[in-house]
Chains A and B, each alone.
Chain A
């Protein structure tokens, strides 16, 4: 997912869940900040490096892929962007090494999602934003794992966009290129993806790199052949998934606000979104590289307030100028605490499942 959903759509969901305009802004800022809080930024701020929630492309180019490097990569990507669905998933005739990666495949409504939302209960709004980022990504990044792996994340030429028209359903071949400076060509179905590399652990095989940005576009429905599913094709219906993600975010935030007694997986606040369903589905289904203007307009109509654009520098000066003891009370200080707590929870669960891909994390 991109800024359109993590920032603007999260704002809309927070407002619909009952948060005020200012609270919603803080939540959506935190949700979007997860995609930008790299070690490079943390070094600049003098913040704890363990709070990193993403890696920049330049950082990944330098990342080692020995076991220590892999654990560092997996801790970040599995915790914040590819939350594993089932840490105890079974598959016959597979080695432990294979299973340790197979069990990190991301998907919605897993046990870790409930733990993620529960962890944010009675915590600052920054933690709510982090949880919403993780929740939303479980839908967008389904079927990929937050660890470099050819045998899990690789894709083939069997990649088709499913188009619905008056004559029924049809398939269009999706083509990939490897030029990151070229924007995706939606008209001709040409997308940028990572290079094919035979090495199992190369960074090119991290997450949905081999599928390009397709999982990040809300409008697209596509079919492809994942490396892990024994030659079965998967259909990924993003318009449906994104709507579910939106309604689940509302549900989770209603619980975090205290408007619901519990948060259970497979529950969605469809009734809250119902008056706006057509509008939301229109935004989600519109074929465009970024839906930010549409979500922003919708959010401003909902609250009657202006939604400021995301500004990476907004809270940095506050954190830098705060004294050592006051840092934890700043906006970013609370975000870092939330990020460390979340990372510790996810990695601890992965470690306790007998999986060494995130190493031992004691938080």
Chain B
């Protein structure tokens, strides 16, 4: 039992549990991302209109205008879908790694990329704010939480890797 309860084993269980939670949290955020994009597409019609107008549709006939509109909707939907799938993929990879069913750590690259993206995007809320303070606070809180989840994911994966390496070295 002493071997089961040495510090490395205890930490390994702790980091694995944390990594599972981070993975689950990131998957939960994919639902939030999906909802956010849906709300932007359906409730901020001015933005959508400006996107369609950018193609200068007024000079086109009716068929071409419909084609442009459908294309814009399809492209935006694909972007939303990709975003959700990436979130889910990272989350599932983290959970699999924590369970020991996945050895590769490629998901950390995407996790690091999104974490940096989240952090550098935060000042943008305060430069020329287009929304009220309450919306800014809510958005910043969400982004900071997301960044923390990703940081924890990277940190725990690193720690697990380190403990496993030292254990295999000891065995050799």
Residues of A within 8 A of B (CB): 158, 223, 225, 230-233, 235
Contact = CB atoms under 8 A, between A and B. Distances in A.
Interface stretch (B10-18, B59-67, B119-127): B10-18
Interface of B: 1, 4-5, 9-11, 13-14, 17
Identify whether the interface residues of A are mostly helix, strand, loop, or mixed.
loop
A233 B14 CA distance: 12
18 contacts: A158-B13, A223-B1, A223-B4, A225-B13, A230-B10, A231-B10, A231-B11, A231-B13, A231-B14, A231-B17, A232-B5, A232-B10, A233-B1, A233-B4, A233-B5, A233-B9, A235-B1, A235-B4
A162 to B, nearest CB: 9
Contacts of A232: 5, 10
Contacts of A233: 1, 4-5, 9
A223 B11 CA distance: 18
B53 to A, nearest CB: 48
Contacts, number: 18
Identify whether the interface residues of B are mostly helix, strand, loop, or mixed.
helix
A225 B5 CA distance: 11
A242 B2 CA distance: 23
B16 to A, nearest CB: 9
Contacts of B5: 232-233
**For A225, A230, A231, which residue has the most chain B Cβ atoms within 10 angstroms?**
A231
Nearest to A235: B1
A10 B13 CA distance: 40
Contacts of B14: 231
A277 B27 CA distance: 57
A231 B14 CA distance: 6
Contacts of B17: 231
Contacts of A158: 13
Contacts of B4: 223, 233, 235
Nearest to A156: B17
Nearest to A233: B4
Contacts of B13: 158, 225, 231
A219 B14 CA distance: 31
Leading 6 A-B pairs by shortest Cβ distance: A231-B13, A233-B4, A231-B10, A231-B14, A232-B5, A235-B1
Nearest to B11: A231
B63 to A, nearest CB: 53
Nearest to B99: A157
Contacts of A230: 10
Nearest to B4: A233
A12 B107 CA distance: 62
A235 B2 CA distance: 11
Contacts of A235: 1, 4
A223 B14 CA distance: 17
B98 to A, nearest CB: 12
Contacts of A223: 1, 4
Given A233-B4, A235-B4, 10 more contacts: A223-B4, A225-B13, A231-B10, A231-B13, A231-B14, A231-B17, A232-B10, A233-B1, A233-B5, A235-B1
Nearest to B5: A232
A328 to B, nearest CB: 50
A230 B4 CA distance: 13
A230 B9 CA distance: 12
A175 B155 CA distance: 31
A173 B128 CA distance: 59
A10 to B, nearest CB: 30
Contacts of B10: 230-232
A223 B17 CA distance: 18
**For A230, A232, A235, which residue has the most chain B Cβ atoms within 10 angstroms?**
A232
